[in-house]
Amino acid sequence: MAVLVLTLVGTLGYMFIEHFQVLDALYMTVISMSTVGYGEVHKLSPSGKLFTIFLIFASLGVVGYFLSQMTQNIFRTQVGFFFGRNQKNLKAQKMKNHVIVCGYGRNGKQVAAELLAHSEEVIVVEQKHDIVTGNLEQGLQFIEGDATEDEVLQNAGISNAKALITALPIDADNLYVVLSARALNPDLNIISRAADESAEKKLRMAGVNSVVTPERIGGSHMATLVAQPDVVEFLEKLNVHGDSPVQLMEILCARLPEELVNKPIREIDFRKLTGINILGYKTASGEIIVNPSPDTRLYPDAKLFVLGTREQIHALSHRLGGEVH
């Protein structure tokens, strides 16, 4: 903007000094400011020479100031990014019960969005610099680096994390991350993406708790849309998205009150108490009961799969001394 203003001022000055010779004045201004220096169009008067000297020095000053400001901004941005990255690494190492997502591609982005909707603390490990800088305003904390390296996982606070989801596009990279993560945190809940079904067995041998194959899930979903479209529509109404008014969630009865231990569901009357529906029950030993009968009894460390609003679910969790997942 300043250069354009100077060009305009110089043109008007030449027009005034050189008896309104517009083309000559514009030409002299441009070659002076660009430092090309083809020479004078014609002999200048003393006042014209003085004005040309002033214009050249002013132009050099404006260009120099512009370059210095641009260099400072670039330098500050880079320094701020690297210092900010170190601060984020220190913050991540102090976090507890967070989820680490390795890879911010299509799957990783969807995973992170769902976790944020469920109010989970998320740290994304991504190797590509442009992806990290382009998504800093998404409300996520990024650790830039290769997730297959132990140091990067440690910077993400893996020792204090409750879960790790590796969504890298290459199965070999996912396998390597799983091996490193399991060695760094033996109690970590690890979920891995598998592009090839043959990699599922290897991932489980490496210590994965759950393996997800997007192609298998996508194919099953498309087939169900043909065979039972209304079932799919109904299940989508019961989705587990964090922004849905009605949610299907699980409650872990970690601190079940003494008066509710070994008590049948019928006597508690959950629906009258909070307005929710119980769709499933998981015993402490891992047995899952779909649509449990009213005679099903509650025990510590059991899980209830319930359908209701977030307020209803939290009210029931508080009554059972449980934890919502």
Residue 240, C-beta contacts closer than 8 angstroms, at least 6 positions apart: 247, 248, 249
- Work out the angle between the directed axes of helices 2-17 and 22-33 (0-180°, nearest 10): 140
Q: For every one of its 325 residues, what pLDDT tens digit does the chain have, with 9 covering 90 and above?
A: 555 555 555 555 555 544 445 455 555 666 665 665 655 555 656 666 566 666 666 776 777 777 777 777 666 655 555 555 555 555 666 788 899 999 998 889 989 988 888 788 899 999 988 888 888 777 788 888 999 999 999 989 999 999 999 999 899 999 999 999 999 999 999 999 998 878 888 998 888 999 998 878 778 878 888 888 887 777 776 665 555 677 788 888 878 888 888 888 888 877 777 888 888 999 888 888 988 888 888 888 888 888 888 888 888 888 877 666 6
- DSSP collapsed to 3 states, the chain: CHHHHHHHHHHHHHHHHCCCCHHHHHHHHHHHHCCCCCCCCCCCCHHHHHHHHHHHHHHHHHHHHHHHHHHHHHHHHHHHHHHHHHHHHHHHHHCCCCEEEECCCHHHHHHHHHHHHCCCCEEEEECCHHHHHHCCCCCCEEEECCCCCHHHHHHCCHHHCCEEEECCCCHHHHHHHHHHHHHHCCCCEEEEECCCCHHHHHHHHHCCCEEECHHHHHHHHHHHHHHCHHHHHHHHHCCCCCCCCEEEEEEECCCCCHHHCCCEHHHHCHHHHHCCEEEEEECCCCCEEECCCCCCECCCCCEEEEEEEHHHHHHHHHHHCCEEC
* Residue 108 CB neighbours (<10 A): 22
pLDDT for the residue 46: 61
Q: Which residue has the tokens 């449990």?
A: 292
Whole-model pTM: value is: 0.61
User: Distances from the Cα of 298 to the Cαs of 40, 104, 192, 306, 321, in angstroms?
Assistant: 97, 40, 32, 14, 12
Q: What is the CATH number of domain 2-85?
A: 1.10.287.70
The CATH class, in words, for 95-218 is alpha beta
pLDDT for the residue 1: 55
How far is it, in rounded angstroms, from Cα 55 to Cα 155?
Answer: 55
Domain boundaries, the chain: 2-85, 95-218, 238-324
The pair of structure tokens assigned to 31 is 């070659």
The pair of structure tokens assigned to 234 is 């109904």
Backbone angles phi, psi at 21, to 5 degrees: -85, 90
Nearest to 128 by CA among 169, 93, 185, 97: 169
pLDDT for the residue 39: 59
Q: Are the C-beta atoms of residues 264 and 296 closer than 8 Å to each other?
A: yes
The yes/no answer on whether domain 238-324 falls in CATH 1.20.1070.10 is no
